[in-house]
Amino acid sequence: MHNPFDLTGKVAIVTGASTGIGQGIAIALAKAGADVVGVARTSVEETSREVVAAGRKFLPIQADLASTAPIQDIIDQTVAWGGRADILVNNAGIIRRADAIDFSEKDWDDVLNVNLKSVFFLSQSFARQLLKQKSGGKIINIASMLSFQGGIRIPSYTASKSGVAGLTRLLACEWASKDINVNAIAPGYFVTNNTQQLRDDPDRSAAILGRIPAGRWGSPEDLGGAAVFLSSSASDYVHGVVLPVDGGWLVR
């Protein structure tokens, strides 16, 4: 019987794959059968071990998505290694915290470059490869609760993640007819490097947990099912969705 969630034979690119959400998604895709290209600024050795332990191949690519310079090389290396590209997970992201009244232009530009600009241009290069392959494929952008809400002290992050949601919808409108699915996952409050400051603040952590119906911070493993679904043939008629995986945060 055909398993619509089976990713055997697929090649997935995951950015920001060294830790946290990117690592969790890379491992989940491997367990579903995909070979994985892990893109990160730092070592992806731990992710590589987990993917190989799941019986899949892993290609590490060191790249800094603060600029668009590495983008075409990521696609070229992927195709040279795996023969194709099928899935792109745009997870790489950074955050800067400061009151809006004091926020610097550098902190604005740094965040928008990684979180939004590179997402668009990597998606563009990936889609061009899919059209060349005539195979269709899946793009999953990592959005945020800040795609829906304002937040505080993170103006460039909120702007970037609101932009990711809008970009997801636009690309879905343009590329659905080309057999390219573009969707997003909006994680709630997860245990990652970006939330370390919040988790270290007892008052903020308690306030956040008090609003999450599930009563806990998310772990990267909690995103695996959503990522596999949006990467698989089970989601072939799903386009432009921003799927919250948030322990119920938005419904409180």
Active site residues: 157
Measured in whole angstroms, the distance separating CA 135 from the mean position of its chain's CA atoms is 22
Query: Residue 135 burial (CB < 10 Å; 0-12/13-18/19+)?
Result: middle
Cα 121 from Cα 109, distance rounded (Å): 16
Angstrom distances, CA of residue 195 to CA of 46, 62, 155, 191 = 21, 24, 16, 6
Question: What's the CA gap between 204 and 200, in Å, rounded?
Answer: 8
Rounded Cα distance, 53 and 146, in Å: 35
Is the dihedral angle over the CA atoms 225, 123, 157, 106 positive or is it negative?
Answer: positive
In contact, 109 and 57? CB cutoff 8 Å: no
